[in-house]
């Protein structure tokens, strides 16, 4: 069994793309993981449809934002396979809101500098 080399987090991220953790089990320590009492199994960690309670699937999609002024590519979104809805992943929603906020700033009427100084 091989030993896990000393690495930075970045190196480690690359390392595990090309190595199997199975080859390094002897060099690993068991950890105990406690789950919240509401979590009975790993299925409970999945996002669920608020309508049918089915586990949501995810995909990457392009979405128009800010009234069609921009198209965001490969946003991660969750969807119900029974068609009850599509939800942006929280990171994607955050990204979208940030972009919309910046575009909103550009839509604000220009401010006359004299008025700004007078205020």
Contact 49, 84 (CB under 8 A): yes
Residue 88 as a binder of Zn ion (CB under 5 A): the answer is no
Shortest distance, position 76 Cβ to Zn ion, whole Å: 18
Applying CB under 5 A, among 47, 48, 63, 84 the residue interacting with Zn ion is 84
Q: Which is nearer to Zn ion, 11 or 54 (CB)?
A: 54
| Two tokens, residue 110 | 């220009």
Q: Closest separation between CB of residue 114 and Zn ion, Å? A: 57
Query: Is position 56 an interface residue for Zn ion (rule: CB under 5 A)?
Result: no
H runs (alpha helix) in 29-107: 90-107
Question: Are the CB atoms for 104 and 96 separated by under 8 Å?
Answer: no
Q: Cβ distance 4 to 22 under 8 Å?
A: no
Q: Minimum distance from CB of 41 to Zn ion (Å)?
A: 20
- Dist CA 41 CA 43 (whole Å): 5
Q: Which stretch binds Zn ion (CB under 5 A): 20-28, 33-41, 48-56, 58-66?
A: 48-56
């Amino acid at each position: 069994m091989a030993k896990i080399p000393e690495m930075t987090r970045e190196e480690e991220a690359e390392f595990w793309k090309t190595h199997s953790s199975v080859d390094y089990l002897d060099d690993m320590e068991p950890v105990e993981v406690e789950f919240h009492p509401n979590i009975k199994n790993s299925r409970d960690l999945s996002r669920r449809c608020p309508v049918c309670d089915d586990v949501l699937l995810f995909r990457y999609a392009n979405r128009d934002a800010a009234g069609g002024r921009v198209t965001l590519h490969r946003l991660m979104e969750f969807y119900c396979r029974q068609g009850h809805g599509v939800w942006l992943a929280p990171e994607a929603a955050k990204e979208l809101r940030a972009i919309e906020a910046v575009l909103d700033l550009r839509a604000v009427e220009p401010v006359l500098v004299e008025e700004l100084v007078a205020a």
